[in-house]
Amino acid sequence: MNEECIFPNELKRMRKEAGLLQSDVANLLGHTSTDRISHWEKGLAAPSVVNLFKLSILFGVPAEELYAGLHASVFESLKRTQSNDVYEQFITPPGNSKTFSENAATSAHRI
């Protein structure tokens, strides 16, 4: 079977740094087998939003850090499509005076 990484991530590295086995992570998340953990680590599937948040808490990092490469790719894709003020208004959170480009520079710097 040809397994292609669709969702690049840092899950395996972070799990190993935490000294955990896939079975440990599966148990902590309430799964009975390691199949899902294995698929997530290989990038063949992505965790649900709830499991993503659980992983984020487990490893003590923001969710986007678990999928830093994917996050950066999506971020750059959005930045490239930026074409007018309407987009700036859409992507700029309420109460944030920074433009999308300014937020992009700040967020990219954190990664």
Q: Which residue reads 């959005």 in tokens? A: 78
Residue 110 banded pLDDT, cuts 50, 70, 90 = very low
Residue 46 confidence (pLDDT): 95
Residue 38 confidence (pLDDT): 97
Residue 79 confidence (pLDDT): 77
- Comparing 108 with 58, which gets the higher pLDDT? 58
Q: Tens digit of pLDDT for each residue in 44-81? A: 999 999 999 999 999 999 999 999 988 888 888 887 77
What element of type H or E holds 67? none
Q: Tens digit of pLDDT for each residue in 79-107? A: 777 665 555 655 655 555 555 556 555 55
Residue 111 confidence (pLDDT): 44
Position 2 pLDDT exceeds 70:
no
C-alpha angle with apex 7: 69 to 58, nearest 5 degrees? 80
Q: Helices 49-59 and 22-29 meet at what angle, rounded to 10? A: 120
Residue 40 banded pLDDT, cuts 50, 70, 90 = very high
Query: Could you give the domains of the chain?
Result: 11-63 (1.10.260.40), 68-110 (no CATH)
Tell me which residue of 34, 35, 46 sits closest to 9, measured CA to CA. Answer: 46
Residue 109 confidence (pLDDT): 46
